[in-house]
Amino acid sequence: VIHKMLESVILGLPGWSWPSLAGSVLAVSGFGLIALYSASSRTTVPHLEDADLDDPNLKGWIWASKVNCMVSPEELCWVPSLDHRSGDACSIQLEPSDFREEDFTLKRKGKPVKGLEEYRKSCRLRERAKKDTARCFLSHFEAFWDGLYKKSLQASDLQ
């Protein structure tokens, strides 16, 4: 089947001009790409918090497997602080520029949240992302394409 298809594409078909044959090949390729993108948008990638990173099947005797997962950059950037009016502990969210850039910057985002729960959650997520069994990406799209588009987060990105 493949031989017959390739033969007609390479040698041409009697009665078909090359531009129309090339256009039909381009159209079929375009439909294939659309189908692939459609499948990628419906594929689920677990959130870092929900990914099973301690699965014993991930530890092979020759090499270890990794779980592709995603986490929002904003979830990783909470810091502890003190409310200057009440003196209570609070968590402040910082907005990162991009974890992979050389000139990484953080800007304060929103109002402080009372308590340290958001900060602790952020610390837990960063520690999970550093595990050997995790391949963590900053979006669903990046995780689906498995590093083809952008590289996964490294331990040095999460300090």
Residue 119 has a pLDDT of 92
Per-residue pLDDT at 154 exceeds 80: no
Per-residue pLDDT at 104 exceeds 90: no
CB of 22 closer than 8 Å to CB of 12 = no
Spatial CB neighbours of 125, under 8 Å, sequence gap ≥ 6? 48, 49, 71, 75, 76
**Cα four-point dihedral sign 20, 26, 29, 33:** negative
CA distance 67 to 56: 12
CA distance 159 to 156: 6
Place of tokens 């331990």: 155
Residue 89 has a pLDDT of 92
Residue 1 has a pLDDT of 63
- Over the stretch 52-94, which tens digit does the pLDDT of each residue have? 888 877 777 677 788 888 888 888 888 899 888 888 899 988 8
Residue 32 has a pLDDT of 87
pTM score, whole prediction: 0.64
- Over the stretch 3-37, which tens digit does the pLDDT of each residue have? 776 676 666 667 777 677 778 878 888 888 888 87
